[in-house]
Structure 1
Amino acid sequence: MKKLIYIKNNYIIQLIILLAIGIILLNTLFVYPIIGKCDNGDFGRLLLYGGLWDLSTTYEGIYDRFVHLNYIISKSHMFIFFGKNWVSGSILLKLAVFISLLLHQFDNRLFNIRYLAFVYSVIFLWGIFLIVNFKRLSTLLKAAVGICIILFFTDTSYISYFNSFYGEAGTIVFFFLNIGTYLNLITKEKPLIRHFVYFFIASAGFLTSKAQELPLLVFMLIIYAGLFIYYKEKNYRKCIIIGSLLVTILCSASYISLTDRMNQNNIYQSVFLGVLRGSSSPEKDLEELGVDKKFMVFYGKSFYNRHSGHDPVGEEMLKEFYPKVSPLKILVFYIKHPSRLWQKIVESAEGAYAFKTPGPWNFAKGQYAPNKAVNTFRTNLVNNYSKIHRNIFVFILFSLIYFTITLTYFIKNKNRDLRLLILMLLFILLSGASQLILPVIGSGHGDFGKHLFLLNFCYDIMVVIALVWLVHIILKIIRKNKFLDLVRK
């Protein structure tokens, strides 16, 4: 009885929020007809680590633009823990496959994708609980955070990834867990070592959830440095140093695991569908990159185009193109040509928020239900106000205001937990703003809308932060006015 009273007094808001989110997740991802994502060719990278195979054996069957619910389990492949194109989501997939086998007494070779959605949902809810439970939030602010998370992040444009093998699902849940474990850590007067460990695991999970997130290690190291500065005890600093090194090593290993084919794909697209795209002098651009202009035959053509008579991974390309081009070289090219850099930044803003309401491609074959009750609040906002969501000047203005306010708080306040909080707020800004150019450098305009996912996600998190901050300011003004009224009386 005492425990129930304690929970009611301390966690009632959190529980209400988790219950609401849980109901939305259950209805969207688990109750037929379920919503998910169809395979566009990326599933194979993760399927390997789960020891899973599509039930279909033909190209047309695998890529039929419908969600596939069931996959064949190959137990022998489950023991591949690290290999090519490794991402942190592979651990979660192995856990989901193990749960499936355990519940079927290791006697069923079929894996239902909802087991993976279950694992993602649990981590998602855990991260949200830690965020809403942040000690600096009043009851009203906890409610505001919860409502914003429900409206924005249970939208199908986000949670439909949970019923898929895309890396975006790992990005979502690990980023929330990264923020949640960090808030849980910095609000404790004397945190335990395990609280640091939780944060390092969550941050490693986020950074390695997709190859695209690996460069963000540079920004994460700033947070690690902040922890080192503000936690001076010897055991804390030892843990922080070890944790930082292990995360860096894991990120390096994940980068090294990228196959030659993936690196070639990214470089090819960053040049022929990036640097040369919209250029008035594409041949000159190739020569500036140190590449023979004879490779102009690939200009505007997809890496997967094998019908033009020119092979993107042919002998000439392998000897004379890929060894001469790198992401660093492409970055230097854009720095030398600021007008082209600006052009790409504008194009990134214009390609942001490629959100769509659920269509047949979000359902299993024959199960399309356009009237299924789901949350499309964020998607509708994007589609109804597309000029705001895809305007580079809106991105810049919002970023400057956000940065100025957070920096002002950092300068004016000396509290350890507040300054560390601001470091995380700045990390979210840097992670989002960097996506205006990093995807273009990394893979040009290939699958552009999907590669801008982190841009959308980070700026939505910042919008939620801004909305909650505004509620905080309004509440302060109301309390101040009430106090003044009492004084006058």
Structure 2
Amino acid sequence: MMPRAARTRKKRKSEDIKLFFMRLLSFLTPGATAALGVLVVGIIVLFIPPYIGIADNGDFFRVFSSNGLYVNQSGYDASQFGYFVKQFGIYQYFNEQGAAFISSQSLFIQLAIFFNKLFFSTEVFDVRFLAAVQFSLYIPTVYLLVEGLTAKLSGARRYVVAVFAVLIFGDTAYLAYFNSFFGEGIMLIAMMLIAASFLLFYTRRYPDYFLLGLFTVASLLLVTVKQQNSPMALILSVLGILFVFLTREKKFRISVVISLVLILVTGVLMYAFIPKTFVTINQYQTMSRGILLESKEPEQALKDMGMNEQYALLKGTTYYQKYKMIDPDDPFLEKEFYEEYGFVPVLQFYLTHPDEFLSLLNLSAKHSFQIRPNEMGNYEKSVGKPFGEKTQFFTLYSNFKPNLAPSSIGMIVLLAVALLIGYGRGLLIRFRLQDYRGLLRFDLVLVLIGTGFAVLLITLVGDGEADLEKHEFLFNVCYDIALLMVLTSLVDYLAKKWQKRRRTKNGK
């Protein structure tokens, strides 16, 4: 038999271990656990060889050139699409390349250049500094989102949600965007912060003024990172009206109205100042990769729009392809082609030709759950991987997602309806009780669904089928936030059911 002193020491040791883990858990909240998990994965992916990024698809030039950077190595064009390039030159003289477009992404690039000059070089820019700037914002974003999701949960179920968050938002398919000049990294951060602000408002996790500021800044970032996001301002400003009713404080209500008006006006200005070059690119591909692509009789489609039937020859072509039948910037096209149609006539055509529109929507649905673009590789050429090779490190979710997700527009609509029904339970009761804070999760679902469908519509009507994976990136983010919400509710439901069954069993 163990001596009494030995038993006492063993008991104290056991209590000390238990106290240690209790203190550790008090520090490692679900949000902190998820943030730590994503931090570890992100460091391995972005900052430890072989570095993972995304190859240039031809879009980088207008971003880095207007921010004072240039290609400083030979063979860059040959690396496009296939290899990730991490270093660029920094202009040492006047940059004749003016700003190609207005984007909040430039703020992050300029901050990265500042740190690059401070710690690395004044002549060579390493894109990993841009990754570091964005990633340093992404970690607290993950923390806030998971805290919002788990604030009303208890026990181990909170950490199950944290694990799901790491698997989804720590996936390399998302993280690789930070090591590139694509604006999708900013879009990811902004949309997650918007969702976090709704959830934290709902749980009263932080002061309302702080959360209103978080929502406003995140919304402005999302709307201004790309001109195609400008319509999102209408969705956010309309559905954000619910914030007005969260409190009776007049000062807060005025602040909400000012914030919503600012978001809406910013969206209008972003749309108004879309550069002519972008309009031409999108307009060309709206016809060649949109209306004409799925039409069995392209000549008839053009005729229905009151246009010359000879342009049916452009079917399936893109603005960027190397060998073209006609220069898309030819003045002849400007006068005889582009002036003949715009956003409204194209939308009108789709509404009067539902078969073609449905065919395009289904094609879009097949690509809408692909987080990373199929065409672009992830490795540097020096690593020795084949051209266009993609990493498989920590990509469990992004690899399985396209196989498990809805494959048609009809299934996506049914999924949206299921979400609305699921989170709409008790809606009328809460409204009658004026429990407006209790409506916030349903309001967030409306934001996610509205944004997701807006992305699908804007992509097809504004640019056709071209480069769908990248253009529908924001749809992916909205879907994954909604999925994490559903998983959180499911984990909570199953845990409560198990506890009830256990109590019943013990009672017997």
**Is the structural similarity TM-score above 0.5?**
yes
Q: Partners in 2 of 1:13 and 1:295 — Cα distance?
A: 57
Q: Partners in 2 of 1:322 and 1:173 — Cα distance?
A: 35
Q: Which residue of 2 aligns with 1:165?
A: 181
Residue 379, structure 1, aligned to residue 398, structure 2:
yes
- Aligned equivalent of 1:108, options 122, 132, 135: 122
Q: Which one-letter code corresponds to 1:118 in the other structure?
A: A
- 8 Å contact from structure 1 (residues 124, 177) kept in 2: no
CA deviation digits over 1:85-121, x for unaligned, max 9?
A: 22222211111111212224xx622111111111121
CA deviation digits over 1:297-346, x for unaligned, max 9?
A: 32322223464442222122111222232122211211122222222211
- 8 Å contact from structure 2 (residues 237, 261) kept in 1: no
1:7-156 to structure 2, matched below 5 A, reads 8-9=25-26, 11-56=28-73, 60-61=77-78, 63=80, 65-74=82-91, 83-104=99-120, 108-134=122-148, 135-156=151-172
RMSD: 3.0
- 8 Å contact from structure 1 (residues 431, 458) kept in 2: yes
Q: Which one-letter code corresponds to 1:442 in the other structure?
A: G
Q: What secondary structure is seen at the aligned counterpart in 1 of 2:54?
A: coil
- 8 Å contact from structure 2 (residues 56, 376) kept in 1: no
- 8 Å contact from structure 1 (residues 89, 167) kept in 2: yes
Q: Partners in 1 of 2:377 and 2:172 — Cα distance?
A: 13
Q: Partners in 1 of 2:457 and 2:239 — Cα distance?
A: 22
Q: Which one-letter code corresponds to 1:461 in the other structure?
A: I
CA deviation digits over 1:207-250, x for unaligned, max 9?
A: 22323322222221233211123333221122112212222232
Q: Partners in 2 of 1:360 and 1:83 — Cα distance?
A: 25
Q: Please state how far the C-alpha of 1:274 moved relative to its aligned partner.
A: 0.5
Q: Please state how far the C-alpha of 1:23 moved relative to its aligned partner.
A: 0.7
Q: Which one-letter code corresponds to 2:419 in the other structure?
A: Y
Q: What secondary structure is seen at the aligned counterpart in 1 of 2:112?
A: helix
- Aligned equivalent of 2:489, options 454, 466, 469: 469
- Aligned equivalent of 2:353, options 337, 352, 358: 337
Give the gaps of 5 or more residues in structure 1.
Answer: none
CA deviation digits over 1:404-425, x for unaligned, max 9?
A: 1112243343533321222112
Q: Which one-letter code corresponds to 2:472 in the other structure?
A: L
Q: Partners in 2 of 1:195 and 1:469 — Cα distance?
A: 23
Q: Please state how far the C-alpha of 1:270 moved relative to its aligned partner.
A: 0.9
Q: Which residue of 2 aligns with 1:219?
A: 235
Residue 198, structure 1, aligned to residue 214, structure 2:
yes
Q: Partners in 2 of 1:197 and 1:96 — Cα distance?
A: 24
1:258-277 to structure 2, matched below 5 A, reads 258-277=274-293
Q: Partners in 2 of 1:182 and 1:79 — Cα distance?
A: 43
Q: Partners in 2 of 1:142 and 1:394 — Cα distance?
A: 30
- Aligned equivalent of 1:427, options 439, 443, 447: 447
Out of 119-128 and 179-188, give the one that drifted further: 179-188
Q: What secondary structure is seen at the aligned counterpart in 1 of 2:56?
A: coil
Q: Which one-letter code corresponds to 2:130 in the other structure?
A: L
Q: Partners in 2 of 1:357 and 1:288 — Cα distance?
A: 34
Q: What secondary structure is seen at the aligned counterpart in 2 of 1:127?
A: helix
Q: Please state how far the C-alpha of 1:262 moved relative to its aligned partner.
A: 0.9
Structure showing greater radius of gyration is: 2
Q: What secondary structure is seen at the aligned counterpart in 2 of 1:108?
A: coil
Q: Which residue of 1 aligns with 2:7?
A: none
In structure 2, the CA distance between the partners of 1:289 and 1:138, relative to structure 1 (3 Å rule), is farther
Structure 2 length as normaliser, TM-score? 0.85
Q: Which residue of 2 aligns with 1:244?
A: 260
Q: Which one-letter code corresponds to 1:378 in the other structure?
A: Y
Q: Which one-letter code corresponds to 1:329 in the other structure?
A: P
- 8 Å contact from structure 1 (residues 13, 139) kept in 2: no
Q: What secondary structure is seen at the aligned counterpart in 2 of 1:366?
A: helix
Q: What secondary structure is seen at the aligned counterpart in 2 of 1:142?
A: helix
In structure 2, the CA distance between the partners of 1:14 and 1:324, relative to structure 1 (3 Å rule), is same
- 8 Å contact from structure 2 (residues 240, 260) kept in 1: yes
Q: Please state how far the C-alpha of 1:280 moved relative to its aligned partner.
A: 2.5
In structure 2, the CA distance between the partners of 1:413 and 1:84, relative to structure 1 (3 Å rule), is same
- Aligned equivalent of 1:349, options 358, 365, 371: 365
Q: Partners in 2 of 1:154 and 1:78 — Cα distance?
A: 37
Q: Partners in 2 of 1:151 and 1:6 — Cα distance?
A: 26
CA deviation digits over 1:346-367, x for unaligned, max 9?
A: 1111223345799992111121
Q: Which residue of 1 aligns with 2:298?
A: 282
Give the gaps of 5 or more residues in structure 2.
Answer: 1-20
Q: Please state how far the C-alpha of 1:66 moved relative to its aligned partner.
A: 1.1
Q: Partners in 2 of 1:190 and 1:43 — Cα distance?
A: 38
In structure 2, the CA distance between the partners of 1:351 and 1:64, relative to structure 1 (3 Å rule), is closer
Q: Which residue of 1 aligns with 2:311?
A: 295
Q: Partners in 2 of 1:208 and 1:410 — Cα distance?
A: 33
- 8 Å contact from structure 2 (residues 199, 441) kept in 1: yes
Residue 328, structure 1, aligned to residue 348, structure 2:
no
